[in-house]
Amino acid sequence: MNKLESLKSLYKPYRYTIKGKCTILETTSGNFVIKKKPKNKDLTSIFNYLKSRGFNNFPESFTNFNSRDDDIVYEYIEDNDVINPNKGEDLINLVALLHSKTSYNKEVREETFKEIYENIDNNIAYLKDYYMKYYDLFIKNIYSSPKEYEFLRVYSKLNAALNFSKNELDDWYNLVKNKNSERISLVHNNLSLDHYLVNDKEYLISWDNAKFDTPILDLYNLYQNNFWNIEFSSIYKKYLLISPLSNEEQKLFFILISLVPEINFDGNEFNVCKEMRKKIDYVYKTEAFLKEYYQNE
């Protein structure tokens, strides 16, 4: 008997639906969601830790049906908050609560901040070289294709964004290079509007990537996943009211979101232009968000 059949035998569902990586069982005793257990991660310990910190906004899990199995069973949460223009603000309030309840200072190795600096610096250098290569290639053409024209038109904007990231990175490193600790918290590490549900209470779902790390990781993921459909300025301010960031944390967050996305110029001309437009919009929207914090510079 395979895993799904054993679960069907246990819960006796009258209907089951496969949705993405989940299987939803509808039974007379309730509805359940079956997911693969994440490798090398003990979610039971994470949920127990959250409960010990007074954070209970996650679906109840049931793991005792077969301790040797690779699946985990959750209660199914029906979202009653599908149409809500303030969903982003409600989500960020819950995330800020998560961070404030689980934050603590952790001693770090002397090389920790240097490694972060070098990783980001290498990424910036790669992107500058990458875009310069295509600029030098496209500028030689007498007649530009649509993707070439669009790229040449915004190249200076992309390069300016990378220069901003580099300057801010140097400033950030000067702030942290002599520090021997950093603030970490339990981060969800997969934040998006789709992972916030409301029923009898607020829920965060999809905890498979959860870990202890800097809280700005959740802000970064939310920005990357939903920058096009949320007004991030008000959301960010609400977060700071509950879980303030230090100067160096805020600066690192700004650096991460200001990194220019890599544009892939291969493929269908229309698709390349469409994808490039989305990534250029990201640059402009990020610049507009950051302007409030750098208006005197």
Tell me the CATH number at 50: 3.30.200.20
**Could you tell me if residue 151 is inside a domain?**
yes
119: domain CATH number? 3.90.1200
Q: For the chain, list residues with pLDDT below 50.
A: 1, 64-68
Residue 297 lies in a domain: no
pLDDT value, residue 17: 82
Instruction: Please indicate, yes or no, whether residues 50 and 143 belong to a single structural domain of this protein.
Output: no
Same structural domain, 115 and 209: yes
Residue 81 lies in a domain: no
143 and 25: one domain? no
Same domain, 69 and 107: no
What whole-number distance in Å separates Cα of residue 96 and Cα of residue 218? Answer: 10
Alpha carbon dihedral 139, 166, 229, 130, in 10-degree steps, equals: 30
Residue 239: partners with Cβ closer than 8 Å, 6 or more residues away = 92, 93, 95, 96, 219
- The whole-angstrom separation of Cα 92 and Cα 225 is 14
Q: Please indicate, yes or no, whether residues 15 and 146 belong to a single structural domain of this protein.
A: no
Owning domain of residue 16: 3-76
Same domain for 62 and 114: no
Number of domains in the chain: 2
In a domain, 86, yes or no: no
pLDDT digits (tens, 9 = 90+) for 68-111: 467 788 888 888 877 778 899 999 999 999 999 999 999 999 89
- Give the Cα separation of 210 and 37 in Å (integer): 13
**CA dihedral (289, 293, 296, 297) positive or negative:** negative
Do 150 and 71 reside in the same domain of the chain? no
Q: Are residues 53 and 163 in the same domain?
A: no
Same domain, residue pair 67 and 128:
no
For residues 224 and 153, membership in a common domain is answered with yes
Inside any domain, residue 83: no
- Tell me whether residue 89 is in a domain: no
Are 167 and 46 in the same domain? Answer: no
Whether 129 and 53 share a structural domain: no
For residue 63, what pLDDT is reported?
54
Is 82 domain-assigned? no
H and E: helices and strands count for the chain = 9, 10
The verdict on residue 107 lying in a domain is: yes
Name residue, tokens 């580099």: 166
